[in-house]
Amino acid sequence: MAMRHGVGARQIVCATLAGLSQFVAGCDDATTGSEVRLREGQTSRDRAEVKMPIELWVTSQGRSEIFIRNFENLSPIDKIELPSGAGPHIVTFHSPDFAYVGGMADGKVYVIDANTKQVAYSAPLAPTLVHQVKVSPDGATALVSIIGSRTVDGSRKLTKMFVDEVKRSWSVGPSLDIGAATDKSPVCTVFSADSRRAFVSLNPSGIAVVDVPSMTLVSQIATDGFIACGMIKSDDDHVVIASAGSGGHIYTLDMTTQTLTDRGFLGASSWHSFAMTRDGTRGFGSSPLSDSVIVIDLTTTPVTKLAALRFDQVPGVGNNQPDAFGGGEPNYGNVLPVGLRAAGNVAIVNAHNLKLRSIVNLAPPAPFNPMTCGPVSTPTGSGGCAVHGVTPRPRQ
C-alpha cells in the first residue's frame, strides 16, 4: 500500500469512546473498517521507574477553578478556587511541591503550594493571556509565555522569573519581546538539560531558540504549522514535537545541534496537543474538531497512524473536543488523561490497549474561543473552556 498521510500497510483501527461502559470501533473520515466492541475496565499496569502520581490537576478556564482528581480513577480529591476571572489554562510542575499556573484572563502568574492547596505567590505580568509557566531543569528559572496581541507593541513576550522553591522565593525578571524579534507569539517552552537554552513554540509556526541567561533570541527553527504545547522530551537532548501542519506533523528536535528531523505526518482533520509514552514508541495527538485522539506508532519511518479514538459522550461533532493531555511530560505507565474542553469532561484512557478506564464531567459546557480557550469575545468576558489542562502531579 502506498503511503498516504503517514498511513502505510498497517491496518488502521478507529474507536468511538461511547459512554462509560464501552468503546465502539468504527471509522474516522479517512478510513474504513469493521466494528469491534471493547469493554472498559482496570487493566494491568506497566509501571515505569518513576512513581505513579496520585493526583491529576485539571484546569477549568471558564470557572477559574482547578479540580484535583485521582490520577487513575478520577475520584475527587480536592478543588482550588482561584480569584474570579483568573482563567487558569495550564498547570506545570518542577517538583511535587509547587504548581505553576498562567492566568489567561487576568494576566497573572500563580504559584500554588501543592500540599496546602493555597496560592504561595502571584504576580501580574500582563493585562491578559499569560499562557504557560515552565521551570528550568535546574529549578532556578521559569519562563512565562505571554501570547499578547499583534496590535499591542511589546505584548508578545517571554518573561523570566527567578525561582527558589526551597526558600519559597519567586520574583519577576527581564523579558524578551518575542513579537518584535519574530512577529509571532510565544506559546510553550522546553529547556536544554543545562537550562541555558530554551526552545519556545511560536504561533502561527516555528520555534524560537532563546539564550536564557541573557534573554536574547539566538535563532528560529521553521515548522509545518503551529506546535502549541506538543513538545515532549525523549531524553536530555531530544524532544519529540508535533505541529498542526498536514494534520499532525511529527519531528524530533536535537537541542544540541538545534535541528529538526522530519518523521512524517498524519493527515488528521484538526490538530492541537501531543503526548507520548515514556519509552517513546507510541504518541497521541488531539484532533478537537473531529472529537478524536489520534494514536501514533512512533517506531515506524515515517510515523504511522494506528487509531482514531472518538469521544461522543455529548452527541454532535465538535461537542467534546479533546485538547490538552498533560504538563509537557511523557505519560506515566499506561495512563493517558484527556481533557474534553467542549464537554467539560475529563477521561482516562489506557495508553496500551486503548480502553476507556474512566470519564467524569467536571463543569458544564460554555462558549469558548478555540485559539485561547477563553471567552468568545474578549479575554476578560464571560465563558471559556469548561476543562482544559490535565496535569499529573509528580511524586518523588
For the stretch 42-86, pLDDT in tens is 333 344 467 999 999 999 999 999 999 999 999 999 999 999 999
The per-residue pLDDT of the chain, averaged, comes to 89
> What does the pLDDT look like over 142-179, one tens digit per residue?
999 999 999 999 999 999 999 999 999 999 999 999 99
All three cell numbers of 267 = 493527515
Per-residue pLDDT band at 15 (split at 50, 70, 90):
low
Residue 143 lies in a domain: yes
The conformation of residue 84, written as its DSSP 8-state character, comes to T
204: cis peptide before it, omega within 30°?
A: yes
Residue 3 lies in a domain: no
Which is nearest to 170 in space by CA: 199, 142, 133?
Answer: 142
* pTM of the full structure: 0.90
Residue 166 lies in a domain: yes
Give yes or no for residue 35 having a pLDDT over 70: no
Please identify which residue in the block is written with the cell numbers 484546569. 59
Residue 385 lies in a domain: yes
Which is nearest to 162 in space by CA: 174, 147, 180?
Answer: 174
Q: What is the pLDDT of residue 21?
A: 35
Residue 5 lies in a domain: no
Q: What is the CATH number of the domain that holds 105?
A: 2.130.10.10
Please identify which residue in the block is written with the cell numbers 535546574. 138
- The DSSP secondary structure of 318-379, one letter per residue, reads TSS-B---SSSSPPBTTEEEEEETTTTEEEEEETTT--EEEEEE-S------TTTSS-SS-T
Domain of 48 in residue numbering reads as: 13-392
Residue 350 lies in a domain: yes
Q: What is the pLDDT of residue 326?
A: 77
The structural domain count of the chain equals 1
What is the distance between the terminal CA atoms of the chain, rounded to a whole angstrom? 47
The conformation of residue 4, written as its DSSP 8-state character, comes to B
Window from 34-43, 121-130, 197-206 with minimum mean pLDDT: 34-43
Which is nearest to 356 in space by CA: 334, 332, 375?
Answer: 334
Residue 174 lies in a domain: yes
> What does the pLDDT look like over 277-296, one tens digit per residue?
999 999 999 999 999 999 99
Residue 206 lies in a domain: yes
Per-residue pLDDT band at 37 (split at 50, 70, 90):
very low
